[in-house]
Amino acid sequence: MSFWFWRGLQKGVHSTSYPRNPELAAGVTPGRPVATQFSSAQDAALAAQVCPVGAITTQGNSARVNLELCIHCQRCHFGNVPLMNWRSDYEWTTIPATKHKYEPLPQAYKRSLHIIVVDAGDCGACLHEVKQLNNPFYNMHRLGLFFTATPRTADVLLVVGPVTENMRVPLLKSYEAMPSPKRVLAVGACAVSGGIFGQSFVSAGGVSSILPVDLDIPGDPPPPLAILHGLLAVTGRKEPIDHEATAERGA
């Protein structure tokens, strides 16, 4: 087996230095639309109109974005209409609108956080991006983050997908099997707000209608670094952000 040992060494280290330094490589994030000033109220209204999920609201010349609804359809990113400003950051984790503050898990969890993922009707993208956290680029083990085989040993529940009718019971069972203290993270637009699937006879329209959600990671799908930011926020190693405040600073 020395063959693969050498192969591995030859390849060198690829891990990002995030969270110590920001990751600047191209293509790690699709970016997000942020609050934009237009030259006229008409332009702002046109920019808001292209959004199929109503994530853009206008006030006079300015348009604001509710990232929790955004499905990254790129309609406001390129095309023949007045376009929103996009910012390529990835620290998107936020506290759900219904909650006022987030209580991080205690100190003891900081370097040993065990994670279970439940695919509750995901399209495959969010789950795939969660999986990427284990690849050499993101290498979440170095931060003391681990996927665990069963909810009974998990501290954090990552839910992807809008919660389908057939997954409702498995999701509830997984949550109930977890020991306290525990945190629930909604990953991706579908888990946060129902996304394009919304609420229907087979979809609960987001995790919060089934379980108490502690943190939202918006994006369709959120890139691995956005999920990493969310996992670091669970134990208070990063702060959840207020989208509107950071958007205004960036715009």
Partner 1 sequence: MVATPSPLAARKKVQIEEIAGGVRDRFGPNVLLSPGQGGVTLSISLLEPTTLPPISKMLFWEMGCSFGGIIAEEIQGNWRLSYLFLSSGCGWTEVLVEAPSTTSAFPSISAEVHAADWHEREIEDLFGLRFEGHPRLGDFVLHDQTWPEGVAPHRKLQRKTMDPHRDRLRHRPNPEWRPLLVVQDPGAFAMPVGPVYEGGLGQSVHFLLETVGEDVVRSVPRLFYNFRAVEKIAEGQPVSRALLLAERFAATSSFAHSLAFCFAVERMSGTQVPVRAQNLRILLCELERLRHHAGAITGICESTALSVAASQAAIIEERLLRASCQFSGHRYLFGLNTPGGLRRDFSAESCGELLRAIDRAAAELHTLEDGLYLTSSFLDRLEDVGIVDPEKARDLNFVGPVGRASGQAGDLRRDCPYTGYETYQFRVPQALEGDGYARLRVLFQEAYQSAQLIHQVAKRLEPETISVHCEPPAHGLAFGWAEAPIGGALHWLRLDGSGLVERYRIITASFNNWLGFRVAVEDFAFQDFPIILASFGLSATECDR
Instruction: List binders of partner 1 among 32-61 (CB under 8 A).
Output: 52
Count, residues near partner 1 per rule CB under 8 A: 73
- Tell me: does residue 84 bind partner 1 (CB under 8 A): no
Complex with partner 1: residue 61 or 209, whichever CB lies closer = 209
- Say whether residue 147 binds partner 1 (CB under 8 A): yes
Torsion over CA: 159, 163, 164, 165 (sign): positive
Cα–Cα distance measured from residue 96 to residue 206, given in angstroms and rounded to the nearest whole number: 12
170 forms part of the interface with partner 1 (CB under 8 A): yes
Among 47, 48, 56, 117, which residue sits at the site for partner 1 (rule: CB under 8 A)? 117
> Is residue 240 part of the contact set for partner 1 (CB under 8 A)?
no
> Could you give the CA distance from residue 50 to residue 78 in angstroms, rounded to a whole number?
11
Amino acid at 112: S
Structural element, H or E, at residue 10: helix 2-11
Tell whether residue 13 is a contact of partner 1 (CB under 8 A): no
Q: What CA–CA distance (Å, rounded) separates 112 from 54?
A: 39
CA distance 171 to 146: 20
The least distance separating partner 1 from the CB of residue 220, rounded to whole angstroms, comes to 7
- φ/ψ of residue 116, rounded to 5: -120, 140
167 binds partner 1 (CB under 8 A): yes
Beta strands in the chain (DSSP E): 32-34, 36-37, 56-59, 62-65, 85-87, 113-119, 145-147, 156-160, 183-187, 199-200, 203-204, 215-217
Q: Does 141 bind partner 1 (CB under 8 A)?
A: no
Q: Is position 91 an interface residue for partner 1 (rule: CB under 8 A)?
A: no
Cα(158)–Cα(153) distance, rounded to whole angstroms? 14
Q: Which of 34, 70, 115, 187 binds partner 1 (CB under 8 A)?
A: 115
Residue in 81, 148, 182, 236 binding partner 1, rule: CB under 8 A:
148
Among the candidate windows 32-40, 76-84, 228-236, 238-246, which touches partner 1 by CB under 8 A?
76-84
* Least distance to partner 1, CB of residue 116, Å: 5
Are 138 and 97 in contact, with CB atoms under 8 Å apart?
Answer: no
Nearer to partner 1, 90 or 109 (CB): 90
Of 54-62, 74-82, 103-111, 230-238, which part binds partner 1 (CB under 8 A)?
A: 74-82
Nearer to partner 1 by Cβ, of 61 and 199: the residue is 199
